[in-house]
Amino acid sequence: MKEIVQSALDNYVLAYRNNDKALFRSLWDDKAVFEDPVGAEPCNGIEAICAFWDFGHSDGMEINPTNVETVICSNEGILKAVMQVRNINDSSGMDISIVDHFIINESGKITSGRAFWNESSISQPDDVSSIDINVDDFKDRG
């Protein structure tokens, strides 16, 4: 099971690095639940999870995970990373340090994902202009 969970986490990172929505979609069980960030209204089911992807990748936005670390226990995994959020249209961006918790089924599909981050997880890189974000507004993205 450890290899199955590691593969799911590795492909999650790869989907973001390659801006590959099809790969991202393929990782999730049809009835999965994704809460990003924790406290936001959960995305229930594959269509809502894909709408979340679209929200995060709108208007020139790209997200590249760096400093990736994983911890696997049984059918669960933790993914720690810095998500480099960049808007290629206006050279703005931010970095978000996240801790994701995933539960993976025997088929290798994510059934539950929870992303832990808040305002204190956001930093401003020197090489891009600031993206203003209010986490409460992000939670109300619906």
For residue 88, count other CB atoms closer than 10 A to its CB. Answer: 11
CB neighbours of 109 closer than 8 A, spacing ≥ 6?
A: 8, 27, 28, 29, 32
Q: Residue 1 and residue 19: Cα distance in Å, rounded? A: 27
Q: Is residue 43 part of a domain?
A: yes
pLDDT at 127: 84
Residues 106-127: b if buried by 16+ CB within 10 A, e if exposed:
eebbbbbbbbbbeeebbeeeee
Label residue 90 left, alpha or beta by phi (over 0 means left) and psi (-120 to 50 means alpha).
alpha
Q: CATH no. for residue 66?
A: 3.10.450.50
For residue 7, count other CB atoms closer than 10 A to its CB. Answer: 13
What is the domain count for the chain?
1
What pTM, to 2 d.p., does this model score? 0.91
Domain span at 81: 2-137
Q: Residue 78 and residue 81: Cα distance in Å, rounded? A: 10
Q: Is residue 142 part of a domain?
A: no
Q: Is residue 41 part of a domain?
A: yes
What tens digit of pLDDT does each residue of 48-104 get?
A: 999 999 988 988 899 999 999 999 999 999 999 999 999 988 989 999 999 999 999
Q: Is the dihedral of CA 127, 52, 137, 40 positive or negative?
A: negative
Q: Is the pLDDT of residue 133 over 70?
A: no
